[in-house]
Amino acid sequence: MAPKSAKKRKVEGEQEASTSSEDVKKSRETRETTNGFETFINFPLDEPAKALLSQSASNRTIKRHAIQGYGKFLEYKGAGQDELFDPNVKLTPESFGWSEKLATNFGNLIESEVYPNEPERDAVFQAICKYMDLYAVTSSKEYRSIYTAHLMNHLIHYKNRIVKNKQKLEAAKTQGEIPEDLVESLRDQGFVRPIALVLCPFKKDAYDFVQRLKKIIYGDDSKTEVWNSHRFEAEFTGGAKDLTDKVDLPEDHKELLEGNNDDCFRLGIAISKKTLKLFEPFHLSDILLCSPLGLRMILNGDEGRENHLLSSLQMVIIDRADIMLQQNWEHITLIFDSIHSQPTKIDTDISRVRNLYLEGNAPHFSQLLLFSKHQNELFWALMLEKAKSHKGLVMHQPILKGNLSMIDVPCCQELHRFSVPKGSTQSDERLNYFRTVKIWIFF
């Protein structure tokens, strides 16, 4: 029986969570002390922590980590007291509370890929699984497997929590009215259902992400249930360019141009039990997979103003930012202006919305990942301004080798200075100078 001081209320409809009770049981079996999701989502954010995270990351304490052959990582301290990032320590998926099946499928996927630098992979894996904001400079695409598996693990724990809390409310409902303090303790959702945003420059990159997601979910199982798979294959692989016979083109040029290069798309993805649902309506999706242009068109473009869809994101991933820079970086800045903004309309039960969303603290419980082939000051500026996770920020400084050693014919550059009496005669004086002075040319 509830205490007299506790208010009572009837339960209203809550957001439906399509997760099996078997997954809930597996979630209980994970070790809470090492569960990355639990430590991230349940962090007690006090006023000093909010004050620290509200300012630019450049004003925080910085610790430098070096990896031989890969460069340096700059760790900007978060709100916690412990030092989180240590690239010299190799961690496993099990240490973060991953299920056995998820860890196995991820291990098989990683083993099938050729990663050029294992220390790089371990450092990226550690930062991502510890929910730290990350800016990584890498020419490899295998990091997609890491963030895809991490995203899947986050979704499993998130949905399991909703199912468990729903069961508690239903059990209390059978006894009549529900205490107010119980309802307050079971707040577990955002304003809207989408909790992850993955930005890719082309459809071929989005296709690769979905293929990796299927391998993470189903592994080697031949029985897969993917909704609208034929439509997805037709729209995201059709019109592909084949440049394999163009032997005179550089390899990076071929990689960029071949495949489906459509840069205007958006795809809603929902995960329910063992079903992967593609082309779901955005308000019923767990993951929004979009190009910057495609997403901007529904935020403040001709096709609608759906800014509320980005109000409850817990993970934002920018894949191949160097390509997006060549497209239109303004799309990215406008998208980030809408992320975690207070929505003008919501469809969920307000009693299930977590207080952190109501109080405007959502950016501190959201992870931002940015991957690029090269450094750029715009990437640094975006991360330093928008990376607000209470776990801290990790920025990569790669080794710049330069291109002088790649010059086939060594050149000796000389600078000659000569006097000109009048500015109007400088062209004639320059020609006369070259006529009278010997210039030695070495081959």
pLDDT at 302: 61
What is residue 23's predicted lDDT score, i.e. its pLDDT? 46
Q: CA 63, CA 83: separation in Å to the nearest integer? A: 9
The pLDDT score that the predictor gives to residue 247 is 62
At 19 the pLDDT is 41
Regions in the chain scoring below 70 on pLDDT: 1-34, 81-83, 115-116, 239-247, 301-304, 404, 407, 409-411, 438-443
Is residue 339 within 8 A of residue 299, CB to CB? The reply is: no
For 125-184, the pLDDT digits (tens) are: 999 999 999 999 988 888 999 999 999 999 999 999 999 999 998 888 888 788 888 888
Q: Tell me what pLDDT residue 301 has.
A: 62
In the chain, what are the domain boundaries?
A: 36-220+287-398, 407-436
Q: How confident is the model at residue 331, as a pLDDT?
A: 95
Tell me the pLDDT tens digit for each residue of 85-129: 888 888 899 889 899 999 999 999 988 877 667 888 888 999 999
Residue 210 tokens, joined? 């979905």
Inter-residue contact 418 to 429 (CB < 8 Å) = yes
pLDDT in tens, 194-208: 999 999 999 999 999
Task: Give pLDDT, residue 142.
Answer: 84
Cα 306 to Cα 193, 296, 442: the distances in Å are 13, 9, 65
Instruction: State the pLDDT at residue 81.
Output: 63
Q: Do 270 and 18 meet the contact criterion of CB atoms below 8 Å apart?
A: yes
Which of 426, 322, 324 is closest to 373 using CA atoms? 322
- The rounded percent of the chain whose pLDDT value lies above 70 is 85
Residue 152 one-letter amino acid: M
pLDDT at residue 152 in the model: 96
With H, G, I as helix, E, B as strand and everything else as coil, classify residue 270: strand
CB 201 within 8 A of CB 263: yes
**pTM for the predicted model, two decimal places:** 0.83
Q: So what's the pLDDT on residue 137?
A: 93
Strands 266-272 and 275-278: antiparallel
Helix (H, G, I), strand (E, B) or coil at 189: strand
Residue-wise DSSP of 293-350: HHHHHHHHBTTB--GGGGTT-SEEEE--HHHHHHH-HHHHHHHHHHTTPPPS---S-G
Instruction: Give the total residue count for the chain.
Output: 443
Per-residue pLDDT, 314: 97
Secondary structure of residue 73 in the 3-state scheme: strand
Find all residues with CB under 8 Å of 60, minimum gap 6, and list them.
52, 76, 77, 392, 393
Quote the tokens at residue 123: 């450092």
**HSE, side-chain direction, 13 A CA sphere, residue 63:** 12
What backbone torsions phi and psi does residue 174 show, to the nearest 5 degrees? -65, -20
Looking at the domain that runs over 36-220+287-398, which CATH code has it been given? Answer: 3.40.50.300
Residue 401 near residue 137 (C-beta atoms within 8 A): no
